[in-house]
Each structure stands twice: as C-alpha cells, then as structure tokens.
Amino acid sequence: MAQHETAHEESHGSLKTYSIGFLCSIVLTIIPIAIVLGGWFDGMVSKVVLMGAAALQFIVQLIFFMHLREEQKPRYNLMALILGIVILLIIVVGSMWIMLYNMVAV
C-alpha cells in the first residue's frame, strides 16, 4: 500500500513546479493585456504576439499542470491530445478555406 501511495505522489508536481507554472501563466497573461491596453503594436505584429503568447500559455499549461512530460508509457493522454488538435485544425482550417474560397461578391 505504501508503494502505491508513493508512486501516486510522484506523478504529481511539486510546489516548485506549480509555482513556476503559475508565474509563467501570469506573465503570459499580462503580456497580451499590456499590448492591447497600451497599444504597443499595430496590425499583424500585435496579432502574432498575441497568438504566440496564447501558444506558450497552452504549452505551459500542458507541461506544468497537466503533467504530460511525466507520463509513463504508453502515452494515451498525449495521443488523445494530438488527435484532438488534429481534428480541431482540420475543422478550423477547412472552415476558413471554405469561407475564403466560396465567398460570393454581392
């Protein structure tokens, strides 16, 4: 029983990793807010920085809070995540492609 509890405790993060993840999340939230409210960038640069901060926020959440890097083999959670991302990309890119190339000029 003690071995099972120790193995279960090892699969979760420590206070240090949760604190690092929390601080990274706060910084990656403050950056887009400052950019939008301060009007630091215009147009495409602003959009790229906002999307980059969102992607980094997603990676921080996966690594520090969802513990994807600590998963033992087989990596079912990682495979399910990749499948979900592929399906999401197919839907979003396909929808944008249909809307872009099938617009009718009125």
Q: Is pLDDT of 6 > 60? A: no
Q: How confident is the model at residue 105 (pLDDT cuts 50, 70, 90)?
A: low
pLDDT tens sequence across 61-73: 888 888 777 767 7
Same domain, 7 and 49: yes
Please check whether residues 28 and 64 belong to one and the same domain: yes
| Same-domain pairing of 31 and 79 | no
Whole domain around residue 51: which residue ranges? Answer: 2-70
Total number of domains constituting the chain = 2
**What is the average pLDDT across 75-85?**
84
Look up the pTM and report it: 0.65
Whether 77 and 63 map to the same domain: the answer is no
pLDDT at residue 89 in the model: 92
DSSP, residue by residue, 50-106: HHHHHHHHHHHIIIIIS-GGGPPSS-HHHHHHHHHHHHHHHHHHHHHHHHHHT----
Q: Are 41 and 76 in contact (CB under 8 A)?
A: no
